[in-house]
Amino acid sequence: MSKQRYEEASIRVLKGLEPVRERPGMYTRTQDPTHIIQEVIDNAADEALGGHAAAIQVTLHRDGSVSVMDDGRGIPCGLHPEEGEPTIQLVFTRLHAGGKFDKTSGGAYAFSGGLHGVGVSVTNALSRRLEVIVKREGKRHFMAFEGGEVVTPLVVQGNCPVRQTGTEVRVWPDPRYFDEPGIALRDLERGLRSKAVLLPGVSVTLIKETDGEALTQNWHYPGGIAQYLEEQVPAEGRIIPVVTGQQEITEQHPAADTYSVGEGILWALTWVEQRPMQGESFVNLIPTPDGGTHEAGLRAGLFEALKAFIEHHGLLPRGVRLQQEDIGARLQFVLSVKLLDPQFQGQTKEKLTNREALKLVTLLVRDPFEHWLNQQVESGKKLAEAVIQQAMARMKSGQKIEKRKSSSVAVLPGKLTDCEAERIDERELFLVEGDSAGGSAKLARNKLTQAILPLRGKVLNSFEVERNRLFGNTEIHDIAVALGIDPHGWDEQPDLSVRRYDRIIIMADADVDGSHIKVLLLTLFFTHFPALIRGGHICVATPPLYRIDVGAYGKRPPRKHYALDSQELAGLEERLRAEGVREGGWSVGRFKGLGEMNPEQLWDTTMNPQTRRLTRFSMTETDWSQAQGIFTRLMGKSESAARREWMESQQVTQDLDV
């Protein structure tokens, strides 16, 4: 391998437009030539922005070239006082030459699209040929370039009326520098339309030459950005009417010491019922599709103004906190900013980075918008209501709680004692009230087929709880994870083959509290796991409330019986009497809860498939409709009056243990 030499001659100096041709991606977008044409259009728009042009015309020629014509002042054609060559030649052949560097009051462009100083010189560098015609001071000047170099020096082709001025540039892009040789027509049309929007009264025309008759499009917005936004957002889709404003730093403005005279903003905005498209922003007529500090300033100013309005009228509900994102969620806007010294991210100027622009826009938006809100109080309150609803939705969304997971697998609750069987139809889960009953159940269960999940305290009334907030309750989270299926609605068809148990058995005490827990769990399954009820997978265990111990008599050994309730107890006692058991030959004990049962008793009465008594719940479509009304009346938070009326009509009474 030969050694590479590194010496004085190794250092290469790129001159003129060579850097652009060597690294075009550093100066423009190379996907297609649209951006180098836009640079020419921007020059024409800067003339209009300064009030020197009233018409811009772009023509797509059949040979692939593009021409841009304006009726501005025309590029100066005389010799440059310092460089000693025609000024127009400097503009098209020097990277850092142009009329946009001089920002003094006498400068040619106080407000223009940037200070990168590459503009049409990049267009020239990346074109096979470029021709420029200038009408100025009663003469028609012509100059041509190929590959960025002068091929036809500046010449005067004739005379023209003194008042007839302007510039026409025709460009033949060089396809070697671009991925696609054609102009992106949609981007070009969008850019031309934006120029017409931001330059009220200026006519912008696009002509597309074809083999037949040329196609012409014209954009003209005498009403400016307000007219444009009203066309984009139909009246029926707006929350408030389109609001417009224009503010500028003057010599008398309090911030004149901080910002330059003439800097300012123009905006039109509204809020829409549906989520809007991306807002449109511009800096000195340059589109900034990636936004930047000026858009951040707009949102900050609107936020401060609306927040002050809401606080002044006492509209904010307790516990709700507004954020800027609530203001911007349904905001549709067009923002145009004039800056003396704009700084962009990259040569393509798609994002503004000036820090002072944020403060400037905030300053110039807040007071006028707050004034509008206080002048249009009804519209202001309507907007405030929409923003507050957005904030509440955001807060509710932020409370959404997912299943706790590890390595993408739901982690089974630590208090779950699982069973060993692999076949789903053999597995059953007992939801047991309390840790003490859970302990007895663990000892009493069949380890092969029965799993135990003890529940601490009463489960949350989930009838009106939104699905995405269920897992905020620990007990419901653990139940859902143990089941292996996610919450769903009646009309949904979840995949029950992934469930972990075939039967879910609610096992609670045979008292008032136990009944309440059963109702809360049934409400959970009815509202958020209806497929389990529809499939007959939900059961309720019926543990006994009484134990009857019968002493030995005759040849019969001592024995015990269990009664579910007082009525069954009375029936058992009658049967004992009929058997000849003397009065006082038995004793009755009352279970205060499952926790008082020893494992043997719990197995015999409640868990043994051969001796237990279960109530299975299932439901048809008709049952569901009827049950929905009952659940609403009994479990709805706002249905206390209906519950009281129902209880009185049913003459519901309850014996209490005191």
The catalytic residue positions are 433, 509, 511, 513
149-159 and 55-60 as β-strands: parallel, antiparallel, unpaired?
A: unpaired
Four-CA torsion 602, 604, 610, 616, nearest 10 degrees: -40
How many beta carbons lie within 10 A of that of residue 491, not counting itself? Answer: 6
Distance (Å, whole) CA 24 – CA 17: 10
Per 3-state DSSP, the chain is made up of helix, strand and coil in percentages (nearest 5) of 35, 20, 40
409-410 and 405-406 as β-strands: parallel, antiparallel, unpaired?
A: antiparallel
Distance (Å, whole) CA 70 – CA 43: 9
Closest CA to 271 of 243, 246, 245: 243
Residue 388, judged by CB atoms within 10 A of its CB (0-12, 13-18, 19+), counts as middle
The owner of tokens 């224009």 is 246
Distance (Å, whole) CA 367 – CA 531: 56
Would you state the structure tokens that stand for residue 131, as one six-digit string? Answer: 């021709």
Distance (Å, whole) CA 550 – CA 561: 8
Q: At 488, give phi and psi (nearest 5°).
A: -155, 175
Four-CA torsion 508, 544, 592, 579, nearest 10 degrees: 180
Closest CA to 461 of 399, 520, 526: 520
Distance (Å, whole) CA 250 – CA 193: 29
Helix residue ranges per DSSP H, 403-547: 435-444, 474-483, 512-528, 530-534
Q: At 545, give phi and psi (nearest 5°).
A: -95, -25
Please give the radius of gyration of the chain, using alpha carbons only, rounded to the nearest integer: 41
Let me know: does 260 contact 321? Beta carbons within 8 Å: no
Helix residue ranges per DSSP H, 342-445: 355-375, 377-398, 435-444
Let me know: does 142 contact 48? Beta carbons within 8 Å: no
Let me know: does 391 contact 323? Beta carbons within 8 Å: yes
